[in-house]
Structure 1
Amino acid sequence: MANTLLDMRDIRKSYPSDDGPQHVLNGVSLHLDAGETLALTGESGSGKSTLLHLAGGLDQPDSGEILLGGRDISDMDDAARAAVRRHSVGLVFQQFNLVPSLTVGANIALQARLADRHDPAFCDALSGRLGLSDLLHRYPEQLSGGQQQRVAIARALAPRPALILADEPTGNLDEATGDSVLTLLLDLVRETDAGLLMVTHSPRLANRLSRRMHLTLGALSVA
């Protein structure tokens, strides 16, 4: 029997604007099983990033339920959602959010240390697979945008999270490097039975995942 990792039920989310509430998600429902990969596509502004933020407990819905590992995180306070996120979720967003005062190696290990799951050998292996082994003693300001993106990906994967949420994780990489990074993400899902929910504008990359859904005008459909 499949083990449901993420279950979002009838999620609605709006934001205030000068013209009244701007409805972004209108009754969205999706589920993701452990070991499954799901590509989320849609036009810019369709609510893809909002959905990802809600799935990771970075924001709360106006209504609906979000179950992560069987726990309802939709009504949790900020501290409780942060604790769940720290132990269960790996976030890869377009903003790298690297700590400028830490070396590459320390940035990669940061999330795993916070989750009490730091494995130096695994961090070294991740660094090698992402082409970062020679950069571990540098600082973020000494890296290119593509290199910083790879560091952010390594940091998210280092704790071996149950759920990986990735917003255009290869957007700052050339095609060959992007393909290899996606291969690493898919390998990690297979090796650890994690789940991957990935936002992408690339049909080619989306087709490498096990399922595809499309977000239009706040509603989801099978792609």
Structure 2
Amino acid sequence: MLLRLRDLHKSFTGAEGPVPVLRGVDLDLEAGESLALTGESGSGKSTLLHLVGGLDRPDAGSIALDGARVEALDDSGRAALRRGTVGVVFQQFNLIPSLSVGDNIAFQARLAGRHDARRAMMLAERLGLAPHLSKYPEQLSGGQQQRTAIARTLAARPRLVLADEPTGNLDETTAEAVLGAMLELVSETGAALLMVTHSEHHAARMGRRLHLHAGRIA
């Protein structure tokens, strides 16, 4: 089992005290599997992704990822996990404005010590970015920027890809193309994909789906 969550709890502090967001979530994900996580706004979907990616800590429960207990890692351990094991694609592209498209694609892989120029070029070609490698993010369309973010994530060969509404800022046609390319490339690497989405259509393209309601898997 690549990812196993058990009895995961998380609350945030509100004006009148703690506000529970996750209330005992269990989840299993195998290597090579794709899973859509759906749910209304405020149900805890993004919070769950942030906990799995080591961007935040749970109040209680366990996160076992590729042999590591994520909740027990210190800051440097969680940063190392994000460099080598977990790749994250956000709705916001989070590209580095001062770097070219080619250097943005290579950035994460270089941090992980896994840069492979041939793989980076393959990803650029498959994602339609080869003609744009010398450009800067501000010169790209939204769809091209999200493709660059996906290439950057996959260039580092993560075991698990977390995607938080990765096509939420794109028009329907572009979103379809970007999602299709991401699903195809993730599948080829044997990585697992956990994607948060509001789209029933996009959720249906995943191997399976779970629904989060009021902080629990419904």
Structure 1 residue 77 corresponds to structure 2 residue 74: yes
Of residues 16, 37, 57 in structure 2, which corresponds to 1:60? 57
Q: Does the 8 Å CA contact 1:118/1:158 hold for their aligned counterparts?
A: yes
TM-score by length of structure 2 reads 0.96
Of residues 137, 141, 149 in structure 2, which corresponds to 1:140? 137
Structure 1 residue 161 corresponds to structure 2 residue 173: no
Of residues 41, 45, 59 in structure 2, which corresponds to 1:44? 41
Q: Indicate the residue corresponding to 2:200 in structure 1.
A: 203
- Deviations along 1:32-65, whole A, 9 cap, x unmatched? 0001000000111111110000111111100000
Of residues 112, 122, 126 in structure 1, which corresponds to 2:123? 126
Partner Cα distance (2:211, 2:9) in 1: 16
1:150 maps to a residue whose letter is R
Q: Indicate the residue corresponding to 1:92 in structure 2.
A: 89
> Deviating runs (4+, > 3 A) in structure 1?
none
Percent identity reads: 63
Q: CA deviation at 1:165?
A: 0.2
2:63 maps to a residue whose letter is I
Q: Does the 8 Å CA contact 1:36/1:189 hold for their aligned counterparts?
A: no
Q: CA deviation at 1:121?
A: 1.3
Q: Does the 8 Å CA contact 2:3/2:64 hold for their aligned counterparts?
A: yes
Q: Judging changes above 3 Å, is the alpha-carbon distance between structure 1 residues 129 and 176 closer, same or farther for their aligned structure 2 residues?
A: farther
Partner Cα distance (1:78, 1:39) in 2: 28
Residue 124 of structure 2 aligns to a residue whose secondary structure is: helix
Q: Indicate the residue corresponding to 2:168 in structure 1.
A: 171
Q: CA deviation at 1:174?
A: 3.0
Residue 74 of structure 1 aligns to a residue whose secondary structure is: helix
1:45 maps to a residue whose letter is G
Partner Cα distance (1:144, 1:179) in 2: 15
Of residues 162, 184, 199 in structure 2, which corresponds to 1:187? 184
Q: Indicate the residue corresponding to 2:99 in structure 1.
A: 102
Structure 1 residue 6 corresponds to structure 2 residue 3: yes
Aligned residue pair count: 218
Partner Cα distance (2:163, 2:214) in 1: 21
Residue 105 of structure 1 aligns to a residue whose secondary structure is: helix
TM-score by length of structure 1 reads 0.93
Q: Does the 8 Å CA contact 2:146/2:178 hold for their aligned counterparts?
A: no
1:173 maps to a residue whose letter is L
Partner Cα distance (1:43, 1:190) in 2: 27
Q: Does the 8 Å CA contact 2:143/2:178 hold for their aligned counterparts?
A: no
Q: Does the 8 Å CA contact 1:105/1:136 hold for their aligned counterparts?
A: yes
The alignment yields a C-alpha RMSD, in angstroms, of 1.2
Q: CA deviation at 1:108?
A: 0.6
Which consecutive unaligned segments of at least 5 residues does structure 1 have?
none
Q: Indicate the residue corresponding to 1:218 in structure 2.
A: 215
1:177 maps to a residue whose letter is T
